[in-house]
Structure 1
Amino acid sequence: MEFPVDVLSALPDTISVIKPRDLVFVRGESEKQKSLRLIIDAMGEASAAAQDLKTIITTTHKFKESKHHLYVIKDQQNTYVVGILKVGRKKLFLVEEEGIQYEVEPLCILDFYVHENCQRLGYGKKIFETMLENENVEPHNLAYDRPSEKFMSFLKKYYNLANYTPQPNNFVVFREYEFQELDKSPSKAARRLSQPYDDCTTPRSRTMPRHGRCSSLPVSPQSTSASYASVSATTLTAPPTESYIQAKRNIINLNQEYRRQMLYGSNPLV
């Protein structure tokens, strides 16, 4: 794609690497940043049109808010921008051939485009090899986001990558991919649920327990067997009925006598 000379001067090398920090400005956008914005937006739109995508996946606004790297290649005469290659890491759930699911964070090919007039001239191979060297990664250890048929033919021709397991997230990971699950420490909830119940014979602090299996007070070893007895086998002792009724009657009588004393005093006639 053709751009003015002053715009192309923002790309210092034949293959330049643009990072999000290159587009961040504080006191206004510089001339170089304006040129980079024009290149990124134009090439991103051309890539989406070539791949028949409904939305443009490479724009200056999206790229500036990401942690991706954008490789941009020019022609040998320094008059055209030939193609772009965007990479970045993503956390993905991937399934290998045996059906085991992994949570991984591979380097992903997010956008790869070479202008139609410059295809089959070695530009795609050149920019792809530069990316592999800079990112220190092998082609089979990459994840590819919805690669086109041309891109799949490219990978088969140069890197002998063809067999892959379909993924639910539309990423393509070839069977040569070396699955390594993320080293994740379990969350607090997972650690709490994975721990066994506390032994009821062990003295505990006065804090309230998280579950009702044990009391917060120490339990003697002699009562351990009783604490695990079933509810149906437990004998509950009811309070003595007669003594309870008699005590209640005494309280009622005392209340009545108190009210009489307050109204009439100690007059024996009353």
Structure 2
Amino acid sequence: MMNIGRYRLGNDTKLKLTSFNPEDTHELKSKEEIHEEYEKLLKRLEEQQDRLFASSSHGVLIVFQGMDCSGKDGVIKKVFHGINPGGFRAYSFKKPNEEEARHDFLWRTHRSVPARGYMTAFNRSYYEEVLITRVHGQISDKEARKRLKSIRHFEEMLTSQNIRVLKFFLHISPEFQLQKIHERMENPEKLWKFDPNDLEERKHWKAYRTAYEEAISRTATKDCPWHIIPSNNRWYRNYLVLRILVEELEKLELAYPQPDVSVASRLETLKEERS
């Protein structure tokens, strides 16, 4: 049995991304090896989401971060395609608009946090406010650390309100990113994904890596851990995220609400009428 704890980072662990191999597949050779298990995991996710929606006891926030081309859109599409869309939301965080920029950096995030009973995935997130802003000198290192402290408190508050926060860093190599950029530029069906700015951002790879390492290290806790997901192999990325998500949801021990006495009484009446 694979120990997925090897990808988990909590309790203020110091992160060095160079310690994680983005090519890692834990000795699995192909997606065919885990096909049957993957299908079962999808069914388990559907069941857990149904219980989540019915019970309204918890909410689940899933945060996806990663360099450009790490597959944040793709993993959301692949992992969540079979669940009830009525209980699921996905948000993509772009540059703050004029109104959002006039508020504190967490304001727009809090409006998108799931209510109890719902599951929400963030494609990028509030962490961008300590990543791109820091790399491009829009905030100082001191301000970045103040924001990281606020983020940690924010996630602690969400946890206290039964909002489970699951955070995934999709880890790719610079070589893999370049390959994906080339594919986007050469394929007419993927050209719409190409952003010339991606090539400029590549120049800051080491700065982003450093910013990610500190952001993850300072906000990885027992209740709100980070998971470092090797993502050069898309099938393994999807499998790992799905498995972690299912196992974390099952830890919540979600249950369908019990009918009250009046419902039970009406059910007995209906049975008598049918007999």
TM-score bucket of the superposed structures, by smaller chain: under 0.3
Name whichever structure is richer in helix by fraction.
2
Q: Which has the higher contact order (CA 8 A, sep 6+)?
A: 2
